[in-house]
Structures are given as C-alpha cells and as structure tokens.
Amino acid sequence: MSQLQLDVADLSATPTLVISPFDLWILSRLAYTEVTVNKAIESYDFFVATSAIKNFLYGEFCDIYLEGSKSVLRGCNKKEAHNVCLTLLYCLNMGVRLFAPFMPFLAEELHQNLPGNTADYITSELFPSKLGCRREEIEKEFQFALDVISVIRKSKATQGMIQQKIPVILETSITEVLEVHKTVIETLANCSIEFTPKYSPGSNTISDTVGGHSSVHFNCNVPETNITDEHVKNAIKKEDNLRKSLDKLIVMTSHEGYKEKASEKVKRNHSDKIKSLQEELLQLGIYLKSLQERRKQG
C-alpha cells in the first residue's frame, strides 16, 4: 500500500473513486451488514448481529473481495489498485467498528494498527450508521458470477483439478452481465474464461449447469469411461435435488395463505426462482441425455 502512496487521511469516508462493480458490490454488502447489525442490536438479538458481521468479514470481505482483488493489486493499473486498497481499508475499518461491542480488545488492537487511524481509541469513533451505498441490482448480478465460480470449483474438484488453472467455456445467455465480472471469476475459480452463446461438448468434456442461464464446459484428458459414469451419477443427483426444490416452491406458492399474505416482492422472487429452476432442469436434462448416450457408445 505504501508503494501506491495512498491518501488514507479519513478512513470513515466512503471511497469516491469506485471504478469497479466489484467494489460497488462489497460496499453494498457492507451497507446491508450495517443495517442488519444496528437492527439486531436495537432488538437485543446479538446472535443475528454477530452472525451478520462474521458472514461479511469472513465470507464476503476476506474469501471473496480480498481474494478476488489480488489480480488487480498485482496488475499494472495503479489507479485500480489504489481504489481497491481504499475500499479494503474502508470496509476493514467499518467492520472493526461493527464488532467492537462484541470483541472490544481485538477491535482496539486492530484499530490501533489501521493505516490512517487518527482516533486514540476505537470508542472515540462513531458506530457505523446509515452508510448507504446499497445496490441490490449489482448484488443480484454478482450472485450470477458467484454461482458460476461455485460450479467451476465443484467440477474441478470432482476431477482432482482444483489446483490447476484451466480454460473454461462459459455457455451463457447473460454474457453482458458475466463479462463485467470476468476477472473476478477467473481469479476465484483459477481458470481462463471464454464466453459463447452455444457450445457442443466433446467426448472428454466436463459440463455442468449454472442456474437457468449458463453452463460451464472444460476438457479432461482422461479416458471417457472414467468421466461419464461419475458425471451421470452427479447429474442425476443434481437433477433430483433441483426437482425437490422446484416441487417445494410450487407447493408453497400454491397455498391460499401465501397468495393472500406474501408481498409482491416475495412473490416475484419466488416466481423468478421457479422459472430459473425449470430452465436449469431443462438444460440439465439435455446434458444428462448426452452423457448417457456417450457412455453407451464408450
């Protein structure tokens, strides 16, 4: 950070030079966490408060944003790296303040070592409130990228290729959405991505569906009989789980009580989820049929 000559005079100021949807996503998740924590504290629900803080710091900040930003920090674009560092420091500062009531000694130790810290004690700092920056549409779009990352990682792990950086074909109907997060997907899934609207897998191609919008494909240079048996089994299991989820949603949304009491937003979300599950089942059925035919031919 010192090499970038960061101006960290005010860690309480929201970064204003945000140039990446990834930065906007983590700031949005921070804003959501702040609101959740403040509401939980007001109602004395400390379990909800600490769970929200843990989910943000461990899951979203460290596992996703920090790891996903490493390629930017190693890159040649100093402006992007500068802004990532400011965003990292801002989120860390606000995160430390959020958990100060629950872990005061640890929070104080971290606070004293934050670059740009001017307050003598963390208790002198204002508790985070009304941070703003919530962007639900960006969160929704980034969730598509997270789903792709999860499927690629799982498919690589099944083949014992988790440590290998491999080329992946991403067959998708939402290229414009996912292209924005291409670097993050490649960094977190340890792969290189090529987008295409349509792809025909070969005999040694590993494939899997991602929601109702995408499929991932990559080649595995092992005998075909070693991959089809395993993947037919996995595909059948996935199909069964998807059908159970779909049936459960359909039953729930069919109840009169749900129709009368559920908000329009909840109904829209469930309707979108049902449509997504139906589309994914359709894609998965085509893929499963292809696998079964290839196994017979092998």
Contact 239, 285 (CB under 8 A): yes
**What's domain 2-134's superfamily in CATH?**
Isoleucyl-tRNA Synthetase; Domain 1 (1.10.730.10)
- Kindly report, residue by residue over 104-131, the tens digit of the pLDDT: 999 899 888 888 776 777 877 888 888 8
- The stretch 80-103 carries a mean pLDDT of 90
* Residue 146 pLDDT exceeds 80: yes
User: Looking at per-residue confidence, does 293 or 7 come out higher?
Assistant: 293
Q: Is the pLDDT of residue 72 over 60?
A: yes
Say which range, 39-43, 44-48, 277-281, has the weakest mean pLDDT. 277-281
What's the rounded mean pLDDT across residues 5-32? Answer: 74
Nearest CA to 218 out of 150, 152, 287, 282 is that of 152
Higher pLDDT, 283 or 90: 90
27 vs 200, residue with greater confidence: 27
pLDDT > 70 in the chain, percent: 87
Asked if residue 13 has pLDDT above 70, the reply is: no
Task: Quote the mean pLDDT of the chain.
Answer: 85
Mean pLDDT of 287-295: 71
How is residue 244 written in tokens?
């159970």
Show me where the domains of the chain are located.
2-134, 137-297
Q: Quote the pLDDT of residue 219.
A: 84
Whether pLDDT at 189 is above 90:
yes
Q: Distance between CA 237 and CA 239 in Å, rounded?
A: 5
**Backbone dihedral region for residue 76 (phi beyond 0: left; psi -120 to 50: alpha; all else: beta):** alpha
pLDDT digits (tens, 9 = 90+) for 235-253: 788 888 889 999 999 999 9
Predicted pLDDT of residue 150? 92
Query: How distant, in Å, are the alpha carbons of 39, 99, 106, 107, 276 from that of 122?
Result: 21, 11, 11, 7, 46
Confidence of residue 190 (pLDDT cuts 50, 70, 90): very high
pTM of the model: 0.76
For the segment 214-238, the average pLDDT, to the nearest whole number, is 71
